[in-house]
Structures are given as structure tokens and as C-alpha cells.
Amino acid sequence: MSFTYTLWFAFFGLIIGHLPGAITGAVIGFIFDNMRYSQRKNATPEAGGFVGPLFTLLGAVAKSDGRVSEQEIAIAERLMTRMKLDAELRKQAVVSFNAGKQPEFDVTQTITALRNWVGLRRDHAFPVLDVVIETVLAEGNPPPEKMSILRQLAFALRVSDMELMALMAMKGYAWNAGAGGQRAYGHGQGYATGGGYVPPQRTPQGPDPYAVLGIDRNVDDRAVKRAYRKLISEHHPDRLGDLPEDMRKRAESRASEINAAYDRIKEMRGFK
């Protein structure tokens, strides 16, 4: 939240009425700042405004390890179909994907464009991340180049490492502290630890429920409930407005994963 009006009104109040005027001005300015913040937070992003930068970033992710695989191309094509893009938007998506996979492409401006489109709508940030994660994981264990772009995007969209870890966990991946305090990702029942990867904690029922909620196993029940309420409010599909049906389905799937993880933890801990 910006405090521009708060500071300016406080400054003018100080000039006019000294300390009492500054206090009055700050209160008035804070009201304006809060109104502006609420409008930005609830603003619905422009329909279709994400297509260009999103597919540009997907192209950059696919090319970041040196080559674009058939799996990554197939994912982009399926995404265009699931999003039900019309002919014009589909053409834009193809052109954007090809632009992103050019050698030495700089993702900074593309990530900035996605951040500007999302604005303060964190409920729109997660579907965007989910789409990018699908390409990042297209070939299994992702190389550092792809993870670097994903983390850069998450940071720009105000999504923490812990929240990103939870999104990865929903897809069966684990992200744990590796050698030297570095983060590491992995997939499946186990994988090579020599490259910094570690086996994810999985059960026959699915991903580790604590990883899905983005919390440590040692937290108390109140922290579990707090994490659940926060996550389910941010991933609820009813808040997504006019996003494509594919992204709404992704949100529904994540909401189901979150509810399932919470139910499993409640059953293990014996609380309601």
C-alpha cells in the first residue's frame, strides 16, 4: 500500500496548522490512500491482456535450458486450446511464444507486464504461476535456468518462496533446503540427491499435506487453521472474474487440494 497522499496531506497540514494540522492531514491522506489501494486490489485485470506476455514467458522458459522440447510445445498448444483462444488471440500467442524463445531473450519486461496485468489481485497471480509451472516441469526435474525464471516471476507477483513451494507440492514436487542452504526441487517417489534434489515426502493419499499448506509439521493447530483460511481465500475460483475457463479449473483443482490437505491434517491431529 502506498502512503503518498498521507505524506503530502501531513506535510501541507504541518505548514498550515503545525502539529495538529499535520495529524489531521495525515488522517485525511490515509483515507485517500486506503481508498486507492482498495480500488487497485479489487480491480479486475483486462480480459485477454495476459495472453501476449504469458506465452512470451512460456517460450523463454522452454528455451532457457538451450532447446525447446516437443513436450513444451505440446503444453503451449494444449493451453491455447483449453483457454479457447479465438483466431486472433491464438495467433498472438504463437507469435509471443516464438519471440520468447529467441536467444538471449530478457524476461524482465515480460514479467513486468504480467505483474502490471495482475496488479494486486493475488487470486489472479496463482493461476498465472500455475500455467508457468506446467512448462517448468514439462520434462521432469527442472534445470536451474527454468527455476530462476519461475522464482523471478513469483517474486514480481508478490508470491513467497513458501507459497511457491506449496504450488509445486500440489503437483507432486518437493522443495527442500539443499546443500549450502540452496533450494531444491524434485518429482516422483525419489530422485538423485547428488544434484541437490531430495525425495519429496509423499503418501498413498497424495502430496505431503503440510507442504500443500506451506507450513512446517511442528506448527500448532492455530497456525494450521490460519494457513488454511489464507490459502483457500486466495485460491477460491469464485474470485477469478472473467479469467479463461482453464484457469478457473486450475483454481478449482488447487482449492480441492487445499481442502483435502487440511482434512488430512485435521484427521491426523484430531481437531475440527
Count of structural domains within the chain: 2
What domain range includes position 28? Answer: 1-37
The predicted structure's pLDDT at residue 109: 92
Supply the DSSP string of the chain, one letter for each residue.
---HHHHHHHHHHHHHHHHHHHHHHHHHHHHHHHHHHHHHHHPPPPTTTTHHHHHHHHHHHHHTTSS--HHHHHHHHHHHHHTT--HHHHHHHHHHHHHHTSTT---HHHHHHHHHHHTT-HHHHHHHHHHHHHHHTTTSSPPHHHHHHHHHHHHHTT--HHHHHHHHHTTTEEEEE-GGG-EEEEETT---TTTT-----EETTEE-HHHHHT--TTS-HHHHHHHHHHHHHHH-GGG-TT--HHHHHHHHHHHHHHHHHHHHHHHHHT--
Q: Do 65 and 115 fall within a single domain?
A: yes
Is residue 262 one of the residues assigned to a domain?
A: no
Is residue 162 one of the residues assigned to a domain?
A: no
pTM of the predicted structure, to 2 decimals: 0.62
- The confidence band for 102, taking pLDDT boundaries of 50, 70 and 90, is very high
The string of pLDDT tens digits covering residues 141-179 is 888 899 999 999 999 998 888 788 878 877 766 654 343
Q: Do 69 and 109 fall within a single domain?
A: yes
Q: Do 3 and 79 fall within a single domain?
A: no
The string of pLDDT tens digits covering residues 27-84 is 676 665 565 545 444 444 444 568 889 999 999 999 999 999 999 999 999 888 888 8
Report the range out of 8-22, 36-50, 103-117 with the highest average pLDDT: 103-117
Q: Which carries the bigger pLDDT value, residue 58 or residue 229? A: 58
Is residue 111 one of the residues assigned to a domain?
A: yes
Which residue, 112, 136, 160, sits at the end of a domain?
136
Q: What does the mean pLDDT of the chain come to?
A: 75
Q: Do 54 and 132 fall within a single domain?
A: yes
Q: Do 32 and 65 fall within a single domain?
A: no
Q: Do 70 and 7 fall within a single domain?
A: no
Q: Does the structure show a pLDDT above 60 at 216?
A: yes
